[in-house]
Amino acid sequence: MADPATLSPAPLLKDELDIVIPTIRNLDFLEMWRPFFQPYHLIIVQDGDPSKIIKVPQGFDYELYNRNDINRILGPKASCISFKDSACRCFGYMVSKKKYIYTIDDDCFVAKDPSGNDINALQQHIKNLLSPSTPFFFNTLYDPYRAGADFVRGYPFSLREGVPTAVSHGLWLNIPDYDAPTQLVKPLERNTRYVDAVMSIPKGTLFPMCGMNLAFDRELIGPAMYFGLMGDGQPIGRYDDMWAGWCTKVICDHLGWGVKTGLPYIWHSKASNPFVNLKKEYKGIYWQEELIPFFQSVTLPKDCTSVQKCYIELAKQVKEKLGKVDDYFNKLADAMVTWIEAWDELNPSGASKSAALPNGASK
Amino acid sequence: MVLEPATATQAAAPAMPQLKDELDIVIPTIRNLDFLEMWRPFFQPYHLIIVQDGDPSKTIKVPPGFDYELYNRNDINKILGPKASCISFKDSACRCFGYMVSKKKYIFTIDDDCFVAKDPSGKAVNALEQHIKNLLCPSTPFFFNTLYDPFRDGADFVRGYPFSLREGVPTAVSHGLWLNIPDYDAPTQLVKPLERNTRFVDAVLTIPKGTLFPMCGMNLAFDRDLIGPAMYFGLMGDGQPIGRYDDMWAGWCIKVICDHLGLGVKTGLPYIYHSKASNPFVNLRKEYKGIFWQEEIIPFFQQVVLPKDCTTVQKCYIELAKQVKEKLSKVDPYFDKLGDAMVTWIKAWDELNPPVLNGKAT
């Protein structure tokens, strides 16, 4: 069998997947990803100063949006999109016209597997999304659809078809995704452990979703992938992907879809400043003690049969039950509704391709 | 990758065997115990409980140098009297008799066709040592940690993991895995007779609360004080309509009870090397009813609710037995018998393990 590292297999889903990258600095990291990313369309969301020019390495097909573009496209609804925080990336999800999204941070590079081969993270995410999930019963050999594995003895046969996979959550070698207190206590810790598994996160179980290396089926779960109000003018940061992850999981559990975690790994190169992080996360450390029980006990009514309906209902419950934790959650709940309104405007149902949007520089 | 077990010479005995006097190794066997020779560096410091299945007049030789007690069917009948009816015959389910007679806090159970595996660097895996690590550190069933076991060296809880859940809960069960012959059911074995598990997944993880799993008894350790009475392996084998569901049954019961009592169940490392593929045609005959029954049994366990006043494992188990009778007897009268056997098991357990007052058994 040919060594996969030397082959250039035909890219899967070339015209069905967009790569969304938030950036405030530069896109130099794309050079390393070129062999894997070049066939795909990129959506760059430029955070921070819109007058700065972000150079995209040559040869990539992309559209780029800065804050001016976001304001122009969304008008007043632009208030739901964060500024000076990578949470702004979810604007890219909204304007995409593709079925699948892969999002990655600009400090994430190609990792190597234990045999020294470069990992095509995108290809693994695609495999994860294209094969079913198994959230109702834990398979002790992890992903039963992987070559060389299967369901084990005792796994009910009626559950072996699995359910559609909505989210593929990848991991990171080198700089681990720790919160500020952990970073302060263990500044030298590096994740060197390559765990060769993909698994479904069981129904009813929440997890901390990291946005650094994440793919999802936009048609299934896109509207729930709102990354919240973070950064400039907000009392909290570094909880954008967490918030989206809790919402997404609750909705996937309700609608019967799967969320996978594990492979692929990327190489996370940059450790953010733990003191800055503590300032951003500070309120979150306390708030999450209320947020988690909230999400764990959320029930969505039976008539919430679409992601948007689920999300609007969730926003309502956020206001009702979390408004008392802090007024921030009232604003967030409103922003969640604004997000859905904006999503539906930009993605009217029944239209697979809407009219071309006035966007920023593109090729 | 060439998959082979480690040899006895490759296995390096640990300098200080942990829990030497607090752990028993329970091994069911009907043939011989030759496999122990390979495990010697890792097992010799520990006490073995051999449960000899099948013909009690046969002599099973234990390799010299091991400290052990051995029970055959005559012993089981003598010790339990009429209650011996709950212990299976001609099925490795009989191993749970070993759990009952042990006086130790921890149990490790292993099948006699399981050998020492090698990790990807070629080093022999000390499965017992890893199980002990798993049992001695907390579980995290209430929220999934994406870096798996947060208590392992080089890992931790990730960003977004609530701080109030970082103490974890006591670990009741450590479920290990197998390289080489995978633990497949008969249909899968028939369809994929050549498949071998060659993937070494370097993780231990907690199975989340509310999620059931297929518990395999081939390479299993547990805290007998915490969960022992729930580790009944059911009525299998001779005179029973079903086989190869003993560990499954125990696994569903213990998970429901662990979830209720706030105890953790881990799965993953360690690996052993599973050498023998059982005959899939024989297996199909044994499993046949189970394939259909499990479609009713799983929803039953998924919906079981144990009342708040079930505060001990025994109370939980008796309640479970009651619900099994109420709700599963209509599936087959076997479950009526099984419900009764579950109660008998608890009675036998409590007789052999009377509660300790002031440090002395009453």
Collect all residues of chain B within an 8 Å Cβ-Cβ radius of residue A156.
294-295, 298
pLDDT of residue B8 exceeding 80, the answer is no
Task: Return d(Cα A211, Cα A82) in angstroms, integer.
Answer: 15
pLDDT digits (tens, 9 = 90+) for A230-269: 998 999 999 999 999 999 999 999 999 999 999 999 999 9
CB atoms within 10 A of CB A355: 6
- Name the B residues in 201-220 with CB < 8 Å from any A CB: 201-203, 207-216
pLDDT digits (tens, 9 = 90+) for B194-236: 999 999 999 999 999 999 999 999 999 999 999 999 999 999 9
Q: How confident is the model at residue A356 (pLDDT cuts 50, 70, 90)?
A: very low
The whole-angstrom distance between A184's CA and the closest CA on chain B is 13
**For position B311, what pLDDT does the model report?**
97
pTM of the model: 0.94
Among the partner-chain residues A138, A190, A207, the one whose CB lies closest to the CB of B212 is A138
Q: Which of A220-224, B231-235, B353-357 has the lowest mean pLDDT?
A: B353-357
The whole-angstrom distance between A141's CA and the closest CA on chain B is 8
- A266: tokens are 């990327």
Is the CB of residue A150 less than 8 Å away from at least one CB of chain B? yes
pLDDT of residue B259 exceeding 60, the answer is yes
**For position A164, what pLDDT does the model report?**
98
Task: Return d(Cα B153, Cα B116) in angstroms, integer.
Answer: 23
Which helix (H) or strand (E) element contains residue A42?
strand A41-46
pLDDT of residue A7 exceeding 90, the answer is no
Contact B160 A242 (CB under 8 A): yes
The three-state secondary structure class of B36 is helix
**For position B16, what pLDDT does the model report?**
78
pLDDT of residue A185 exceeding 70, the answer is yes
pLDDT digits (tens, 9 = 90+) for B290-305: 999 999 999 999 999 9
Collect all residues of chain A within an 8 Å Cβ-Cβ radius of residue B253.
none
Backbone angles phi, psi at B84, to 5 degrees: -60, -15
Nearest chain A residue to B268, by CA? A140
Contact B199 A148 (CB under 8 A): yes
Q: Which of A163-167, A234-238, A348-352 has the lowest mean pLDDT?
A: A348-352
**For position B9, what pLDDT does the model report?**
63
Q: How confident is the model at residue B13 (pLDDT cuts 50, 70, 90)?
A: confident
Task: Return d(Cα B290, Cα A187) in angstroms, integer.
Answer: 52
CA dihedral A70, A71, A74, A76 (to 10 degrees): 150
Task: Supply the DSSP string of A252-265, one letter for each residue.
Answer: HHHHT-EEEEEEEE
* Residue A228: closest CA among A338, A63, A345, A99: A338
Q: What mean pLDDT do residues A218-228 have?
A: 98
pLDDT of residue A282 exceeding 90, the answer is yes
Give the A:B interface size as CB pairs under 8 Å: 179
pLDDT of residue B85 exceeding 60, the answer is yes
pLDDT of residue B262 exceeding 90, the answer is yes
Top pLDDT among B201 and B360 is at: B201
